[in-house]
Amino acid sequence: MAAVTGTSVRPTAPPGLIGTRVNRVEDARLLAGRGRYVADVTLPRIKHAAFVRAWPSHARILSIDTTRARTLPGVVAALTAADLPPATLVDGNWIPGLAKTPQPVLARDKVRFVGEAVAIVVATSRYVAEDAAELVEVDYEQLPAVDHAGRRPSGHVPILDELPDDLIYDRGESFGNPDLMFRDAPHVFVKDLALARSMAAPLECRGTVASYDPAAGSLDVWCSTQSPHLLRRRLSAASGVAEHRVRVMMHDVGGGFGQKIAAHPEELAIALASCALGIPVKWIEDRRENLMAAPHARGQRVHLKLATDDDGRFLALRARIVGDAGAYSFNAASALIEPYITARVMTGVYRIDHYGYHVAAGLTNKSPVAPYRGVGFIAAQTARELLIDEAARSLGIDRFELRRRNMIRPDDFPYRSCTGLVFDSGSYLEALTTVERMSAYDDFRCEQEQARASGRFIGLGISPYVEPTGWGTEAMNQIGWHSFPSNDSARVSMDISGKVTISIGTPSQGQGIETTLAQISAEVLGIPLDDVVVSFTDSSSAPTSLAGTRASRAAVVSGGAVGLASQDLRERILKVAGALMETDASILTVADGVITDPSEDAASMTVAEVVQKAFQLTEIRSAEPEPNFTATRFYDPGATYGNACVGAVVEVDPQTGGVRVLRIVGAEDCGTVINQVVVEGQFIGGMAQGLGGALLERLAYDENGEILTTTFMDYLLPTSTEVPHFEVEHLESPSPYTWRGIKGVGESGTIGAPAAIAAAIADALAHTGSTVDRLPMLPEDVRAMVEQGEDRG
C-alpha cells in the first residue's frame, strides 16, 4: 500500500499530543460489540412503535379508522394527529424572502410525500406493531403530484395552500458588475448540471426511545441525533414539558452525515405518544422507512455561465440555481441549504470579481431535503470545475494551467471573495501542484493516448476547492447563512484522583471526537491521554451546544472550547501547586502528570497530589476564590476555510457505460492537524461517499411521486470493490483566527471527489464532443454521451 506522506507549508507546533497519530480511544468497546446504540436501550414496561405511512404522494386525508388495529392482541394504542396535542416543526432559518412551511408531526389534513407519518401504533413488540399498522385504514382523495420544482401538473393543487405556486424562495444578488463584463467578454462558456437526489444513508437508521414520567412530569429521551440540545428545545415545545424537565441522552451513534441534525417528526411523535400513554415507547427505523421518509439531499439544477478573456482569465460568472425542496422546507436548516449555499460559494478558489446569481427553491411531493455532508458545495464545485475544463478545451489551454492563472495566490491572504467570504489562509496552488505531481499528469497524457489507440478510454479529472469550516458566527455572517446560532461551550472537570472528564454538546457520530478532544485536553493539561475521558452527551449535564455536531465544526468549536477550559484548569492547578511548593506558579512546568519546579533541583509533585490536597486541605481551599477544578468555556471561532484538491483517474467502457475508478489522489489542508488517523479517516471516507454520489446513488421517483428506491438493492452505496485505494498527502496552513489554527475536515472529501470523477469521465470521452451534465453518471448516462458522440459523427 502506498505510504501516506506529509508535507507542511508552515512550521508545525512543537511535538505534543496535538498532531500525534494515536489510535482511537472509542474503538475497544465498538470492536467488542459493546457499543451502545439507541436500538440497544431498553426500559421497564417499554412498548414498541411502528408508523403508518402515506402511500400516495399528494392527497387529502378523508378519514382514518384505527378500530381494527386497536383490537389486535398486544396492541396498546393506535394514535393519529387527533389523539396528540398539535405540534409542528418549522425551520429556524431567518434569510429574508424565505417562506415558512410548518410541518405537522403526524399528517393532519393532507399527506404531501410517500412515507409521511400518518399514525403510530404502539404494541408489545415491533412485530405486532407492524401487523397492526397494516390494519389502520386511511381514506385518501388523491391529488396530482408536483414531481419537479417549478413544474405544475395539470389540475395542479398547491402543496401548501398558502403557496399557490409552490415556490418558497426566488431571489438573486449581484457582486461587481457581471452584466457589463459579460457584454464585453471575448468568450462566454455555458454549463448545465442536474444533481439528483441522494441521501446520507448512515448504516444506523434513525431511532428514539422516549419515557415520560407523569408523576415527575419529566421526559427522558434517548436518540440517535447529532444535536441533543436542539432536539431538547423541539421536544419541549411539542410536548409542553418545560425544557429543564426534558433530558436527551445519547450514547454511540452509527453515522449521521447531516441526516440526524434535525428534530425529526417521528422523534417528536414518539415522545408525544409516551406522554399520552405514560409508558416508555421505542421506535427503531428500518431501512425502507429511512430511504423513503428520512430527509433526502441534493436535488438541484445549476445553470452556469463563465466569461473569460483570450488568455483564459475569468472575468465574470453567473449562476441560476433551482432547488427541489421536497414537501416541506425542513427544520434542519430550510430547503435553501442546498441552492443558497451553492450560490454563495460558487466562485471557489478563483479570483472572480464580478458574479451574479439567482436562486429559486420549490416544494415537490417528495421527502424533504436536509443537510448531507458537503451540502450545497458539491453542486457548485462540480458545475464550476466541469465548466472550467470545457473552457480550457475550447481555449486550447491546459487544465492545470488555466486554474493556476486564475487561482487565489499565497500572498492574497486574507483574501475577500466578491461574495464576502474572507479566506484566512490556505494552500490552493500547492494543493493543485501536489495533485499534478501525484497523478503523474505528463505520463498520464501519454498513457491516455496509447490507451485510446487501443480502444480504451481513460480520463483524469481535477477538483481544487475551498470550504467554510467551523461555522462560527463570523463565518455565518460572511456566507449570509443564518439557520443555527453558533453557541457552544465545553466543560473540563478534574476529579480528586487527578483524572479529567470532558462534557460537550457536540457528540460523535463516529468522527473520533472522544479521541481528538482528549488529545487536546491532555496536551494542554500536561497529563497522559489515558487520564482524560469524554463523556456521552446528556443534555441535562452537558454545556449547551445549540447547533450540535454539523458543518465541519466540532473539532474547531468544541476543540477550541476544550482547549480554553483546559488552559483555565491548568492555571488553577499550577497556582495551587505554586502555593504547595512555595514557589512562583509561573515558572512551573507540567508534563506527563508531573509538575516540576525547575529552580529547586527539579522539585516535583504529581497533578493528582496537588488536586488531592486542594480538595482536602481547608487552608489551600480557603485561599481560592472558587476552589474547584472544573472549567467551562464558551467558544465562537473566527471564520476559517479549509482547502484541498482531489484528482481522479477513471476508465470508461463505451459498450456498457460502466465507469471504473482507477485512482483517486488527494492533497488536503485542514490547518493544524490534531490526529492524522482521524483526519485521513474523514477525508478518505468523505471521498468514498463522493464516489457514491458521482456514480451510484440516486433516489428515484416516478411522475406520480412514487419513490422507486426503497432498498439497498435499488439505492446503491459504494462497496469495497467500487472504491479504489486512496492516496493522500497533507498540507498544513493553520488558521490565524481559530484556537491553535484548527480547521474542520468532516466534509472535505465528499465535496471534492464528485467533480474530479465527473471531470475524469468527461476527459475520457472528450473525443466524442459530449459533456457530463448530471450526477450521478449511471451507466445509461455514460452510454448516452457515447451515443450523442456517434450521432455527431
Partner 1 sequence: MTVQPDEVVVTVTVNGETVRHLVDPRTTAADFLRDGLELTGTHLGCEHGVCGACTVLLDGRSVRSCILYAPQLDGCEVTTVEGLSPVPGELHPIQEAFRECHGLQCGFCTPGFLLTVHEFLSETKGADEDEIREAISGNLCRCTGYQGIVAAVQRADETWQR
Residues lying near partner 1 in the complex (CB under 8 A): 1, 23-24, 26-28, 30-37, 39-40, 127, 201-205, 252-255, 257, 284, 286-287, 509-512, 677-678, 680-681, 684-689, 711-713, 717, 719-721, 723, 725-726, 749
Rounded Cα gap, residues 157 and 532, in angstroms: 58
Helix (H, G, I), strand (E, B) or coil at 523: helix
Q: How many CB atoms lie within 10 A of CB 48?
A: 22
Q: N- to C-terminal Cα distance for the chain?
A: 43
Non-local (6+) Cβ contacts of 67 within 8 A are none
CB of 699 to partner 1, least distance (A): 16
Query: Taking the alpha carbons of 53, 55, 61, 63 in that order, is the dihedral positive or negative?
Result: negative
Question: Whose Cβ is closer to partner 1: residue 512's or residue 741's?
Answer: 512
Which H or E element spans position 130?
Answer: helix 126-133
What is the torsion angle, in degrees rounded to the nearest 10, for the CA atoms of residue 739, residue 475, residue 250 and residue 284? -150
Are 626 and 610 in contact, with CB atoms under 8 Å apart?
A: no
Q: How many CA atoms lie within 13 A of 66 on its CB side?
A: 19
From the list 670, 608, 672, 677, the residue with the least C-alpha distance to 644 is: 670
Non-local (6+) Cβ contacts of 142 within 8 A are 56, 58, 59
Non-local (6+) Cβ contacts of 533 within 8 A are 25, 499, 500, 501, 502, 514, 518
Q: How many CB atoms lie within 10 A of CB 474?
A: 17
Distances (CA, A) of 408 to 134, 318, 405, 425: 59, 19, 9, 11
Q: How many CB atoms lie within 10 A of CB 132?
A: 27
Rounded Cα gap, residues 161 and 370, in angstroms: 22
Are 296 and 197 in contact, with CB atoms under 8 Å apart?
A: yes
Are 230 and 546 in contact, with CB atoms under 8 Å apart?
A: yes
- 492: cell is 473540563
Helix (H, G, I), strand (E, B) or coil at 52: strand
Rounded Cα gap, residues 554 and 634, in angstroms: 13
Are 80 and 119 in contact, with CB atoms under 8 Å apart?
A: yes
Dihedral-angle region of residue 188 (phi above 0 means left; psi in -120 to 50 means alpha; beta otherwise): beta
